[in-house]
Amino acid sequence: MAAAGAVRGLVRGGAAAAGCLGPGGCRVLGLPVCRLKSSVSFLTRPDRPNLAYHKLKGRNPGIIFLPGLNSNMNGQKAIALEDFCNSLGHAFIRFDYTGCGSSNGNIEECTIGKWRKDVLSILDELTDGPQILVGSSLGGWLMLHAAVARPDKVAALVGVAIAADHLVTTFNRLPIEAQKEIEEKGEWKLPTKHSEEGYYSLTYNFIREAENHCVLNSPIPVTCPIRLIHGMKDDDVPWQISMQVADRVLSKDVDVILRKVGQHRMSEMEDTKLLVNTIDDLIDKLTTLA
């Protein structure tokens, strides 16, 4: 385990990693760089809602970003990673889950199982060759499932504030009376400071279905390299979950990187540098192994 307070400046292939300014542009070692506007594409599925995505063509290993709960593909980390991959010439995909962002579907009908299938659809239909999955919060939970289901395609994992089993664990820690009230109302208002309402609305059925996808109760059959980055000031998802995941996966190549001042969204410039440096190191490792 490494405790990261600051990270090195990275220059690789003539480009450097940096914190992002938002959808309009990024900084490379503090300097603004131009980025092309990318149009939204849709993955058409005959039996499921269409998924919105942005795809950057390039060489492998490709990078796929999996957003967190109530998030979308236009977040700061996703945009920063797209710019980084563009600078290196590596393939990159960011997308929205069913019912989120620009994708079709009703969010109230979504489940962990359906979002798991979304990730597999992206892997199966839009990629060729080895991929590095980068999962933020709930996206980190989903990336574990994808790695179990597609071991030949998932070459490495990077979790940012990974939230494996977290919604189920949090619900089960509520007093029995509170759980019964949520069951009767059919809705759980999960407190959060990341929403204007002050909570995320989840259906009771969402929680019950999510129990089928918990991974921390037994060994996780994932053997690829794994890097888990977590802020110790994360008030939403405890950093100890990253430690639990590291303990449960079968892979021996696992690093847990804790940022002492890091918060849940890991959105500071130094956080973004750490994320990009971590992915860059994995690209080097996978390229050397190949």
Interatomic CA distance for residues 171 and 187, integer angstroms:
12
Q: Quick check: helix, strand or coil at residue 149?
A: helix
Cα separation, 45 vs 49, in Å, equals 6
Structure-block tokens of residue 22: 């938002």
Quick one: which of 85, 92, 76 has its CA closest to 24? 76
Q: Per DSSP, what are the bridge partners of residue 94?
A: 54, 65
Residue with tokens 């037994």: 218
User: Taking the C-alpha atoms of 80, 36, 41 and 83 in order, what is their torsion angle to the nearest 10 degrees?
Assistant: -20
Q: Which of 87, 103, 136, 137 is catalytic?
A: 137
Query: Is 234 known to be catalytic?
Result: yes
Catalytic residue among 54, 166, 213, 264: 264
- Phi and psi torsions of 27, nearest 5°: -115, 140
Active-site residue flag, 264 = yes
Backbone φ and ψ of 59, nearest 5°: -85, 170
**Given the residues 83, 118, 165, 234, the one annotated as active site:** 234
Cβ-contact 80, 266 below 8 angstroms: no
Catalytic residue check, 54: no
Residues designated catalytic: 137, 234, 264
